[in-house]
Structure 1
Amino acid sequence: MIFSKSFHLLVLSALLAGGCQSRSAQETAQSDPNTSAEAAPETSNTKLAVTKDTAITTAAATTAATAGKELTPLDSLRMMAPKVPDPILPDRRILAYYGNPHSKKMGVLGEYPKDEMLRRLDREAENWRKADPSKPIQKALHLVSITAQGAPGKDGKYRLRMSDYTIRKVIKWAAEHNAICFLDVQVGLSTLQQELPYLEKYLTLPYVHLGIDPEFSMKTGARPGTKIGTYDAADINYAVNFLSRIKQEHNLPTKILVVHRFTQRMVTNYKNIKLNPNVQIVMHMDGWGEPVLKRDSYRDYIKKEMVQYTGFKLFYHNDVKKAPHHLMTAEEVLTEDPKPIYIQYQ
């Protein structure tokens, strides 16, 4: 819908400009030659340096010492796994905070300091629990781990991969808060085939799941932010099969794939999306605006083209910009049929 497209292009343009203009906001480059440090998301920090990962707990370190081996940061995160059911859906409703810790513009996850952000997540979870006591809430952090960029970068892919340090940091936040974590991918001019292997080691963690955003999949070669991108069923099936393989190889709980959508063309040939017992698919309504427009988007692009489970996004700031300046409540969202099982706040 027009309201969704206009907003997403506007916000992306502002974000990309901020990222390109501020070298003080650069995330330390990785060894990966495809990374563009100059296009990192903006941050309020005057200097951002990668330090030694602090995820290793005392218990984990003791276990490692007893076993006579060095504990890696990924090992420590695996030992911190929150206790969640398998599968999570449909018995629980997921409530996620979205964004990137280096940007106050990308969403609530990075808008506030960590402790305040998590307190807000807890309060929101309680609102949803009261609105539907029959459905326990599973809290989540949804990190944009590969971000679309306004500059091409060294390889011309118009995307930036977050560093290991940043990804581990947000996963650790989730684990410490008994929450699951989603790693979101905006491929730019790259592809899922090129980008998902970068995240594979994190997806071997039992509480880490995946999100993919067609808006920034620029199959025509256009620069991100100038047009709305698209994924075909074949792309979504690739992501599902990628997760399924990881789940089977590592004997993990059922994985979840969130697919963003707010226009017809963002997902093509949806009837060809294949369900997989190892992966739960959430088609997620990603549009902003007044309640009537959000409901229209949900019914037109999610309900009419049902795949498996449904999601609904709420924007703390942009949903209230226009009359009636009202952020939908949990009770209002739950009047939709089917009731969304994945709720995301940006």
Structure 2
Amino acid sequence: MITTSIRRALVPGVAAAAVALSLAGCGSDDSADASTSVGGSSSASGLSGTVAAGGSSAQEKAQEAWRAGFGADNPDVTITYDPVGSGTGRDNFYSGAFKFAGSDSAIPAEDMEKATAACGGSDVIEVPVFISPIDIVFNVEGVDSLDLDATTVANIFNGTIKKWNDPAIAELNADATLPDLAISPVHRSDSSGTTDNFTDWLFQAGGGAWKTEHSSDWPVQSGEAAEGTSGVVGAIQDGNGTIGYADDSAVASTELGKVSVKVGDQFVAPSADGAAAGLAASKLADGAADTQLAYAINRTSTDPSVYPVFLVSYFIACPTYDDKATADVVKGFGQFVVSELGQKAAATNALSAPLPTDVASKADAILAKIAAK
């Protein structure tokens, strides 16, 4: 079904197309009819069939917008997207259960052999489609905003800092009235790209307070675990003295406080522009195949235009598929996602930053090569 947020939030043209659709699924496994019209024309594309996909829960609102806008031209195609988390999404892609996956972190090196096998021995396609800040959010009565550095956040989440009036927090928030209240950190229980990016920031910028490198699975024994982005946000809302992390789109409609993080000598609030600046300050990962645009994120910039706690979310697919119908749907949908129209739809519905033009162009060229075996 189309959610109310899609009807209300999509950009003009995409919204009209979305309302007209007859969708094939409901619940977390939403589905939308899909087409290959990246320019938003109303002509039928002639595609047909059903394609199952899933993964990143941070992509969920963007996927709603993409599938709704993409479906305007072809009522005979159904794409389902199950927001089961990045790790499970990748695993389901490797097994063949998903024809493409969304992942908030690049395919781990130890998984690349499985990804290649899933694509019949060919290099897997992996292109960025979604840039979003990760909000560090909290629920502390009487406190609306906080300034924190990465070291302090790391010590909160590793359990070293246990009270909200701890001197390390108080020193950074002289004007706040901090209660003598236990801190309850909340993290993802499932394998999550959001966790991977959050722990990457803690490790890179935490001054040694965070001992483990980035990981999609929560690496320390501390705090409360909750499943999925919605689970984390719900646990923070329902708790007292809670703090956690979630994609910006999942937090926008809440009244939770947001942390501004220290960058250089300033404290920077989460924003799509700040996340985009963070990508611009990063480089492509070494050793990537020609079919991959995977980034090694720089979390230690001192430029206050950068918000360093962000994710780059990927579209993972194969360069060839067993049948032409599937190949054409995956190719067309991917190209719509990275198109100007697709990126505007995601920015409106999911508060993401549009891909830089050169990145979108490179991604489109890679996706255009998808074909039947």
TM-score, L = length of structure 1: 0.27
Query: Which structure would you say has the larger Rg?
Result: 2
User: Which structure carries more relative contact order (alpha carbon 8 Å, separation 6+)?
Assistant: 2
